[in-house]
Amino acid sequence: MGLLASLLAIVYLDRIERMSLTSELIFYRRRRTFMSTAVAATNRSRVLAIYKEILRLGKNWVAKDADRTLIERKDIVNEAKQTFRDNKEVKDPKQIAELILEAEKRIVQAEHYGIPILQTSTPPTSNTVSSHEGRETERSSGVRSTHFNPIAVVFARRYFAGSSISEDILSDIVKLCSTNAQFYTDFVSTVLCSNILEQYPVRKSYRRNLLKQLIDLLDRCGIEILDELYTACASCMLDSAEYSFRIFLTQNLDKVLVVLRESNQQLCYGTTGLSLWQASCDLANFLCCFTNMLNKSVLELGAGCGLTGIAIARNFSGCSVTLSDYDPKVLSQLDFNVGENMDKACSQIKVLNLDWTTFSMDQLDKIPDVVIAADVVYDCSILPALCGVLRMCLSAKQGCCAYVASTLRDPLTLKAFRDKLDENGLRVNDEMRYQYGAFTFNDGSKIKSTSLFPHSSTLDAPTIIFEVVTKIGPD
């Protein structure tokens, strides 16, 4: 809940002084004005309303583990101080808006999921995974983002992920190139023509079309086209590769978070599991933003390319992730993708051949704390087996839950899923949806969340995320 400090960095209060509140929580009052009086009154009301809500949460904070209540209150204070120092000079309206959105997101983290502060990944004490040796260090992306504004960051993130980029963003990038020579040079050399794309090439047709658009726009503006751009575009003319890669970068673009190989055909060798799908990206985004998987045992069903499970292992230390699927080619690709993402900061990942129709708990090394699945609710004929596996896993350990994500293609299929859950003694405890860069929760609250895992889909439909528990689980 660095949300306290995030807000204090932008609120319009005259002075700040530290005072004691109950149980070690720090209450801040006015010290100085950070924004001009021209700021709209509606924004002021919004900030103050969130501010009061944060104080209420902090004053009444109780940890999930009662013994950690005082510790977590102290953590809240420490993070508040640091975030305050980092943001106290913020004046730019766009940055202020981002801080407000971050604070709102953190309130949801606290209220819905009991997460007191921003989770940061630290290397686990041990890291073993079958058949894979983790590299010593995390991979640098090579991106020089010193001169990047938020638009350039969005472009870079979507470009490396092979995701569509709007014409408005392209136009803004060209304007930046025309006004900032250093940005132009860095952007071409470390993004558009990045060396990492030689090792992990994105789909050539995607890159070729995008580079051609940019070259045309730059030329129209009278900007000299750098030779590297022509060379990169020419290298994408022949596109006969069976596979391509998607590269997902960390928040500040400096490192590779996850890299995935996928088939260039959504249906390949009779399976859809060799391609990345929207629900996997949105579930990975949700779990990394709004849940705490530290030291959890996680089982992914129908893992496909493995994005969601790998993202958890890369973001949360000390967890144990098992990626399961059934098709031999999918399992082979899972094994490849796990190997490409292992380093000393990554939690343990295993790949498991799992047939839902013959599943037993004896097949698992550990009883999972959390079960995850993305884009597995698309065919009513597989729902009995899927819900049977969920029932066995969720009944094996108290407090176990599942997160199942599905793109809303057919409401009747999702209704059939709910009905089959009910038949198996399970229920939907919470439901979220993600669309147009925002999560909408059951209580109607909406939180913007720019995904670290952008994905383009020809289907304009939300991803529905179900939190599933046993019927005797907590309300």
Can you give the CATH number for the domain in which 342 is found?
Answer: 3.40.50.150
- In angstroms, the CA 289 to CA 207 distance is 29
Last residue of a domain, one of 59, 86, 113: 113
Q: 144 lies in a domain?
A: no
> CA 167, 169, 173, 174: dihedral to nearest 10 degrees?
20
**Which amino acid type is present at position 144?**
R
Nearest of 337, 150, 340, 339 to residue 253 by alpha carbon: 150
Task: Count the domains in the chain.
Answer: 3
Q: What's the rounded Cα separation, in Å, for the pair 118 and 129?
A: 27
Q: Quick one: pLDDT at residue 29?
A: 29
CA distance 19 to 15: 13
pLDDT number for residue 399: 92
Residues 93 and 173 in one domain: no
224 plus 97 within the same structural domain? no
* Same domain flag for 306 and 377: yes
**What residue type is assigned to position 420 of the chain?**
K
281 in Cβ contact with 307 (< 8 Å) = yes
Contact assessment for residue 30 and residue 48, using Cβ atoms and an 8 Å cutoff = no
pLDDT in tens, the chain (475 residues): 444 544 444 443 333 333 333 333 333 223 333 334 444 445 556 666 666 677 667 767 777 666 567 667 766 766 665 666 667 667 666 667 667 766 766 665 565 555 655 543 333 333 333 444 555 567 888 998 888 999 999 999 999 999 999 999 999 999 999 999 999 999 999 999 999 999 999 999 999 999 999 999 999 999 999 999 999 998 888 766 778 999 999 988 999 999 999 887 654 444 455 678 899 999 999 999 999 999 999 999 999 999 999 999 999 989 999 999 988 888 999 999 999 998 877 889 999 999 999 999 999 999 999 999 999 998 899 999 999 999 999 999 999 999 999 999 889 999 999 999 999 999 999 999 999 889 999 888 899 888 999 987 777 889 999 999 998 754 4
Q: Is residue 108 part of a domain?
A: yes
> How far is 165 from 180, CA to CA, in rounded Å?
21
DSSP string, 26-74: EEE--EEE-S-TTS-HHHHHHHHHHHHHHHHHHHT---SSGGGHHHHHH
Residues 277 and 390 in one domain: yes
Q: Which two tokens stand for residue 81?
A: 């101080």
- 129 within some domain: no
Q: Return the axis-axis angle of helices 227-234 and 204-220, rounded to nearest 10°.
A: 150
Indicate whether 124 belongs to any domain: no
The answer to whether 313 touches 121, Cβ cutoff 8 Å, is no
Residues in the chain: 475
* 237 and 272 together in one domain: no
For residue 24, the number of C-alpha atoms closer than 13 Å in the C-beta half-sphere is 13
Residue 249 lies inside a defined structural domain of this protein: no
Q: What is the pLDDT of residue 422?
A: 96
Q: 113, 128, 158: which is the final residue of a domain?
A: 113
Last residue of a domain, one of 181, 216, 244: 244
Same domain, 322 and 238: no
Would you state the pLDDT for residue 378?
85
321 in Cβ contact with 350 (< 8 Å): yes
The residue among 74, 452, 394 whose CA lies nearest residue 252 is: 452
Residues 6+ apart with CB under 8 A from 257: 248, 249, 250, 311, 314, 315, 452
Together in a domain, 18 and 156: no
pLDDT in tens, 445-459: 899 888 999 987 777
- Residues 260-279 as b or e (16 or more Cβ within 10 Å = b): bbbbbeeebeebbbbbbbbb
Q: Considering the domain boundaries, does residue 454 fall inside one?
A: yes
- 233 lies in some domain: yes
Whether 475 maps to a domain, the answer reads: no
Per the DSSP assignment, residues forming a β-bridge with 469 are: 427
End-to-end CA distance of the chain: 24
Q: Quick: pLDDT tens for 323-379.
A: 999 888 889 999 999 999 988 778 899 999 999 999 999 999 999 999 999 999 988
| Shared-domain flag, residues 31 and 67 | yes
Among 439, 445, 449, CA closest to 405: 439
CB 154 within 8 A of CB 450: yes
Q: Which residue in 46, 138, 63, 143 sits closest to 101, CA to CA? A: 46
Q: Copy the structure tokens of residue 289.
A: 């933003």
Question: How many whole angstroms separate alpha carbon 292 and alpha carbon 101?
Answer: 20
| CA distances to 31, 42, 226, 420 from 48, in Å | 15, 10, 49, 45
Do 226 and 289 fall within a single domain? Answer: no
Which residues, listed in sequence order, are joined to residue 403 by a DSSP beta bridge? 372, 467
Q: Both 300 and 230 in a single domain?
A: no
**Residue type (1 letter), 186:** D
Q: How many whole angstroms separate alpha carbon 302 and alpha carbon 325?
A: 5
Domain that holds residue 435: 261-470
User: How far apart are the C-alpha atoms of 387 and 395, rounded to whole Å?
Assistant: 12
Q: 106 and 179 in one domain?
A: no
In this structure, the answer to whether residues 80 and 162 fall within a common structural domain is no
d(Cα 258, Cα 273) in Å, to the nearest integer? 18
Q: Which long-range contacts (CB under 8 A, 24 or more apart) does 26-33 make?
A: 26/77, 26/80, 26/81, 27/55, 28/4, 28/80, 28/84
